Structure 1
């Protein structure tokens, strides 16, 4: 790439004046949408922070700092970023294994990796993730988030296992039923309010009403339940995460997992947002740059790695958000909570946040997509189920990788099945010696998964003097297919059978020439563009053989 092209690419990744060209026309709707999203984001930010083990403060800081940075530098006009359930699932084991001091290091490392992905123009790779993998991944995350809230719902700490199901089981012996009755009651209250509120009003999010009611009940009744606890009344001063070189090196692997998840989730969220709104295209590489910078900034302020949040982004769009101003306002609303309402937020019971996340996780389950996928094809259903199971039982990034590999396997198998070879009748009136000519039409893909099987039938042909290979219907030709074709022609010619090739596509000719298909022909004149000409040549060849035999 030329220096000028590199410079243009770099400039495209920076904020533009055009990002705000519609603000004069939409600022009222943007501001209202930002306030609405801020209210929705508050309980989620607190809950995700607590659930990850980083604390409510980290979740709130992430929603503020990362929300602003990603809005300004990201590639979507309506994306809202912050802590998400998928990130919580990954961060929990990291904090448990390396301690809370690792959080800032992981933020900076993962953010730098995501930033590098954007600079290297890897933003379009997410388009290669199949739909069943995405939905299986989403289902798995929903299950994990729900399981993670079970210990908090019973008022106990989660077990030491990094697997959410096992951690919930390990927590069971520590349940104190004199406390668990109250925490379960709070969870039930929160769930009931969140389910009933939309039927009464949509002016105020049910999650906000639920946690206000739960906090009030806990305070008035003086319930023996754990609360969020003291929160800062101002943002902390930014500072570089402090850790030894060994710690930074040890956290490279976990940070890579976080980075991959941040990139995948952010790009998927932005893509969904673009599909449900008319607010401009998503600049995938710039989105990665914005998310990388957002995580780095969050790490300097004591936050968590951030990603695009599809739920909050959808609320933004439904509330009328059209420009980046909405996401900025959402962060400012949360900043106001820190400076004006931190003492009130500190009294929220942890069980109330668990209830919020339980409802959120259930709403994440892609019911319609599950129904469609499971009734579509067996391969799609298998990919969906496999991805979900690996997500829950092993690891999120492994799940995506295994899901993509499974999808590739099924796709290659289907492609191989679509490939075939068919012997055809010669065109025109029959002539003497036609039985010594075999015309084979090769269809589909001549690639590593099908080449030998397809061409084996041609090689097994007996009792002919000329074989005509029709290649015009070959859609795909790879190096393995070209090599197998070369070996076939060489083998037939070695048996004294003349091979004529008709209709190699122009796009395949360079590969066929380099691998040796053309050189394997007896003469280059045995390459034809027209079937009638190829058959006429074959008949003349057979006629000469018959004349020589008769003479």
Structure 2
């Protein structure tokens, strides 16, 4: 089998995906039903909160959850609509309409699929931990604020797309005597969920809270807005209406959605792999699976999907061992559509807001925030900046800026750890040693440190021979190699002889390509050992002194 064939094969489903099913099918079945119960209110709530509607959220959990389970790269990941995706989709729905969600789902799915085929899955490992935590805190805050309109009985139409501004506007526009009913519903949901979580972490607290509050609301009259009519079957798949104009308008949002889907799915898969011994995840295959899941979801009228950390954790804790559990989760939700759509239709919207508010609050961990803030000053700054930009502006922009700020601090630290040190010459001191300078360059010679090292060496006067000791150099980039070439050229132009000692084998190609070696006065001025280098320098000084005499 050819190498490309093996590469493609690793991205497709295979028998090994279900090798433990014979032993784990009971646990997978129980876990799948449990996750389905937990996912139901979340799928409905995320659909409503995004503006696409409860039906879109439910369709996404069913279709995308099934496709991602079969084609994804994790054995226990559960996928569907998530809070982070809602944060991105809500302003898109306001700007481009509900119909745009299906188009974006297909476009974003294609982008994520291509990222998997191009083997870009491991790039998520380059996202620093403070950026991830700041991103998570920001998402939690936005999800909570997005529920304020429904919590006070306001539609949210006509309000700002910024969650903070919209929450304030909704509170000011609310009819407060009437707003007490949805607020009481939210409070009841929160109390029930918190009490049940203290009793047992295995109880589907959100599902039980929804059932209890819906029953109470039905008994005391219809003072609350409800989900409304849901489809009694899955719609037939259809290609979303895409025109050249809409394609150009939605391409930018599609890339933002795709970036978020890839990041969140891979982070969730990585967390899942650390929670259980069901085997590692395949990052590239996970992107392929999530891309196909969003494409399929868009064809059925759903939303873009991602891996869901909370539902995946429930799956693992409930005994899920293979992909069968995530498949059962989707089938359980499908049964709700065909059997219980009328029952689900009477759930109050405020109850869903309560579920999301509790979910959002749980995303913000005080202990993790303390850990980040107490780590280092630079990491704390990265965390705070990412969180603030996430809430104030945009999720993807926040991740980009967070990575840029983290990279700046990392490069500054790397530059500080790099340096040039003048050393004493080994052996018996001889006349003329004061005209020989031995410099040891440590750490990294890259664009962040090269100029400073150049200035340090050039600051020494009265030198006739410079020895550059490069054996301690760990990293060199093109800028560093170019700077070294400039240094050698400038010194030689001043009549200073340059000897280079200890170039590492991995650094030699870039130094040769950028002329650092050719800029030496003689090919013999390149040495492997320090002792002959110093001997050559002293010999040169001796010959120079004799010539002057």
Under a length normalisation based on structure 1, what TM-score does the superposition of the two structures give?
A: 0.98
Alpha-carbon deviation of 1:460? Answer: 2.2
Match of 2:453 in 1: 454
Q: Aligned partners of 1:438, 1:173: CA distance in 2, in Å?
A: 73
Q: Map 1:26-425; keep pairs closer than 5 Å.
A: 26-158=24-156, 159-425=158-424
Q: Which moved more, 1:183-192 or 1:487-496?
A: 487-496
Contact 1:138 1:366 in 2 (8 A): no
Deviation at 1:436, TM superposition (A): 1.6
SS at match of 1:422: strand
Q: Distance in 2 between matches of 1:173 and 1:446?
A: 58
1:291 positional shift: 0.5
In the alignment, the residues of structure 2 paired with residue 245 and residue 178 of structure 1 have an alpha-carbon distance, to the nearest angstrom, of 49
- Provide the rounded CA distance (Å) in 2 between the counterparts of 1:366 and 1:147: 17
Rounded Cα–Cα distance in structure 2 between residues aligned with 1:428 and 1:201:
74
CA distance in 2, matches of 1:249, 1:527: 57
Change (3 A) 1:249 1:505: same
Question: In the TM superposition, what is the alpha-carbon distance from 1:202 to its structure 2 partner?
Answer: 4.2
Q: What CA deviation, in whole Å up to 9, does each residue of 1:174-230 have, x standing for no partner? A: 312232111111111100000001223445311111111110111000041101111
Which region of structure 1 is more displaced relative to structure 2, 382-391 or 199-208? 199-208
SS at match of 2:498: strand
1:447-474 deviation line (CA, Å, top 9, x unaligned): 1111121121212221222111111111
Corresponding residue number in structure 1 for 2:548: 549
Bigger Cα displacement from structure 2, 152-161 vs 14-23: 152-161
SS at match of 2:503: coil
Distance 1:415 1:52 in 2: 43
Structure 2: distance between partners of 1:136 and 1:343? 40
* Residue aligning to 1:466: 465
Kindly indicate whether the alpha-carbon contact (under 8 Å) linking 2:389 and 2:398 is maintained by their aligned counterparts in 1: yes
2-side partners of 1:456 and 1:110: how far apart? 49
Displacement of 1:251 in angstroms is 1.0
> Residue 51 of structure 2 contacts residue 93 of structure 2 at CA under 8 Å; is this kept in 1?
yes
Report the alpha carbon displacement of residue 169 of structure 1 after superposing the two structures with TM.
Answer: 1.8
> Aligned pair 1:525/2:524, yes or no?
yes
* Mapping for residues 407-446 of structure 1, pairs under 5 Å: 407-446=406-445
* Kept after mapping to 2: 8 A contact 1:79/1:270: yes
Deviation at 1:441, TM superposition (A): 0.7
Structure 1 segments of 4 or more deviating over 3 A?
A: none
The answer for the alignment partner of 2:510 in structure 1 is 511
Partners of 1:504 and 1:243 in 2: how far apart? Answer: 58
Please give the alpha-carbon distance, in whole angstroms, between the structure 1 residues aligned to 2:349 and 2:36: 20
What is the DSSP-based 3-state SS (H/G/I as helix, E as strand, rest coil) of the residue aligned with 1:520? Answer: coil
- Give me the whole-angstrom Cα distance separating, in 2, the residues matched to 1:202 and 1:114: 34
Q: Distance in 1 between matches of 2:499 and 2:261?
A: 54
Cα distance in 2, alignment partners of residues 38 and 212 from structure 1: 15
Quote the Cα distance in structure 2 between the aligned partners of 1:527 and 1:201.
Answer: 71
For 1:116 and 1:491, locate their aligned partners in 2 and report how far apart those are by CA, in whole Å: 48
Tell me, in whole angstroms, the C-alpha distance in 2 between the residues paired with 1:175 and 1:456: 65
Q: Can you give the 5+ residue segments of structure 2 that lack an aligned partner in the other structure?
A: none
Contact 2:447-2:479 within 8 A present in 1 as well:
yes
| Distance (Å, rounded) in 1 between the aligned partners of 2:252 and 2:39 | 30
> 20, 23, 28: which one pairs with 1:22?
20
Is the CA contact 1:110–1:259 (under 8 Å) kept in the aligned structure 2? yes
How large is the Cα RMSD of the aligned pairs?
A: 1.2
Find the residue that maps to 1:91 and give its secondary structure.
helix
CA distance in 2, matches of 1:164, 1:540: 74
Secondary structure of the structure 2 residue equivalent to 1:507:
coil
Gaps of 5+ in 1: none
CA contact (8 A) 2:152 2:170 kept: no
The CA distance in 2 between the partners of 1:115 and 1:311, in whole Å, is 24
SS at match of 2:119: coil
CA distances 1:43-68 after superposition (whole Å, capped 9, x unpaired): 10011011001111111111011110
How much does 1:482 deviate?
1.2
Distance between the aligned counterparts of 2:463 and 2:302, measured in 1? 76
Q: Deviations over 1:503-548 (max 9, x none)?
A: 1111111111111111111111111111111111111111222223
What is the CA-CA distance between 1:167 and the residue it aligns to? 1.1
Deviation at 1:478, TM superposition (A): 1.2
Q: SS of the counterpart of 2:461?
A: coil
SS of residue paired to 2:233? coil
Per the TM alignment, residue 357 of structure 1 is displaced from its structure 2 partner at its CA by: 0.4
